[in-house]
Structure 1
Amino acid sequence: MVVAVIADMVGSRRLPDRAAAQRVLDEAIDRVESARPLAIERLTPTVGDEQQGVYQDLGAALTSLMMVQLALPDGVGIRFGLGIGDVRSFDSSGGRLSDGPGWWAARAAIELVNERERGAIPSTRAWIVGGQGQDEVMPATISAANAYLLLRDELIGAMSDRERRLTYGRLMGSSQTELAAQEGITQPAVSKALRRSGANALLLGLDELTGAH
């Protein structure tokens, strides 16, 4: 059992320079994978604006995907559908293919993200669906993680570029003093930005979900 992820770019058809946005996304994924390689199969472009990747567990997926969100600048957003379940690979005349309940659940999850984004919760960027029995095996975990994702996406969506950089830095273990030097501001200004943006709650919530205490 792993976590399969299907991702796509927010509003890709409306972007003034789709190729430039894709380069920004690719660079963000490269940065995250270089800094903390948590993926079994890193997010890789497939068709159109879609990316697919595989993670060993929910904690690794939640951490890595949040890092990608935080690494993106204003104007470039990404949605994630996470499917918990088995995946299998096999050879075909067109090359190596991957299939299985994890992928089917990921597809259902990203469709739910699109539905919620177009509806009452436009900040929605990620959702988790359990594949073939996983909703029964770990319902509390999936429900708690989805509740966290709703609030996480709301907070990240309201952050400025600087607030996302600071949150990313804290997630990577940088001190407030180090971040202040990088941003050219004071340490108290960093502390205030982290409190005001909800970054501290965001990071503590991730620790609670992933057991990173």
Structure 2
Amino acid sequence: MAVAVIVDIVGSRRIADRTSAQRTIDGVLQRLTEDGPPVDVPLHPIVGDEMQGVYPHRDAALLATLLFQLALPDGIECRFGVGLGEAGEIPSASGGISEGTAWWAARAAIEDVEALAASAVASARTQVARWSSDAVSSGAASEDGDDLRVVNAYLLARDHLVAQMSERSRRLTYGRCVGATQRALAAAEGITQSAVSQALASSGANAVVEGFRLLRG
């Protein structure tokens, strides 16, 4: 099974300086190669405001999408569709074209995110879907007992916590996820260690960091 990830920029047409925003996102992608989980095909821009990548397992994709969200500055947001299925390439004169059921599921997942964000869950940014012979599913239990409803419920709660964070709190959360000490973060931010501790506690970051640790195993 492959895990395909599709990323697009929320409201990209409303960003005044799209070129500068893309440079910022490129920097985030570089940080993911340094700090992120194992990856088969690193996330990279495809066309317009979309990026794609392939991860070896679902949890790696969930870790990467969290770090991606935390690394973004205010004013730039992305949504993520994670698809479970098969991924391959179709040869063409201009190079391989990504194809397979994992991509179809990822596309369905990102459409689910858009629908959720447009209705009752404005903070929704990430969902997972699996391709089956019957349909794309984001809510039914799979044959191996893995219940995507549980995964997607976790993602809704995680996204909500991240959405409420300030840019500094996201930076601090990112740092804690990748193993930085509170003392090191305080020095980088020019604040006291006590202020770091308070920011992490008040923003819900500690729950996000613990969830990251559990996913990483």
Whether TM-score is above 0.5 comes out as: yes
State the AA in 2 paired with 1:124. Answer: A
Which residue does the alignment assign to 1:79? 79
2:95 is aligned with 1:89: no
Which residue does the alignment assign to 2:16? 16
Which residue does the alignment assign to 2:149? 143
State the AA in 2 paired with 1:32. Answer: L
Distance 2:100 2:162 in 1: 31
Question: Matches of residues 146-165 of structure 1 in structure 2 within 5 Å?
Answer: 146-165=152-171
CA deviation string 1:1-23 (max 9, x = no partner): 12101110011011111111111
Please state how far the C-alpha of 1:38 moved relative to its aligned partner: 2.3
SS at structure 1 position matched to 2:142:
helix
Question: Matches of residues 179-198 of structure 1 in structure 2 within 5 Å?
Answer: 179-198=185-204
2:66 is aligned with 1:60: no
SS at structure 2 position matched to 1:137:
coil
Which residue does the alignment assign to 2:183? 177
2:118 is aligned with 1:118: yes
Percent of paired sites with the same residue:
47
After superposition, the Cα gap between the structure-2 partners of 1:211 and 1:137, relative to the gap in structure 1 and judged at 3 Å, is farther
Please state how far the C-alpha of 1:69 moved relative to its aligned partner: 0.7
CA deviation string 1:78-115 (max 9, x = no partner): 00000011111231123111211100000100011111
Q: Runs of 5+ in structure 1 lacking a partner?
A: none
Distance 1:60 1:29 in 2: 15
State the AA in 2 paired with 1:200. Answer: N
Please state how far the C-alpha of 1:205 moved relative to its aligned partner: 2.1
Which residue does the alignment assign to 1:201? 207
Distance 1:26 1:2 in 2: 24
TM-align CA RMSD:
1.5
Q: Runs of 5+ in structure 2 lacking a partner?
A: none
Aligned length: 211
Which residue does the alignment assign to 2:128? 128
After superposition, the Cα gap between the structure-2 partners of 1:177 and 1:141, relative to the gap in structure 1 and judged at 3 Å, is farther
Which residue does the alignment assign to 2:107? 107
- If the length of structure 1 is used for normalisation, what is the TM-score? 0.94
Distance 2:183 2:70 in 1: 20
Distance 2:22 2:124 in 1: 21
Distance 1:3 1:196 in 2: 34
Please state how far the C-alpha of 1:195 moved relative to its aligned partner: 0.7
State the AA in 1 paired with 2:203. Answer: S
Please state how far the C-alpha of 1:174 moved relative to its aligned partner: 0.7
SS at structure 1 position matched to 2:91:
strand
Instruction: Name the one with the larger helix percent.
Output: 1
State the AA in 1 paired with 2:186. Answer: A
> Runs ≥4 in structure 1, deviation > 3 angstroms?
138-141
Name whichever of 65-74 and 34-43 sits farther off: 34-43
Distance 1:205 1:36 in 2: 15
State the AA in 2 paired with 1:204. Answer: E
- If the length of structure 2 is used for normalisation, what is the TM-score? 0.92
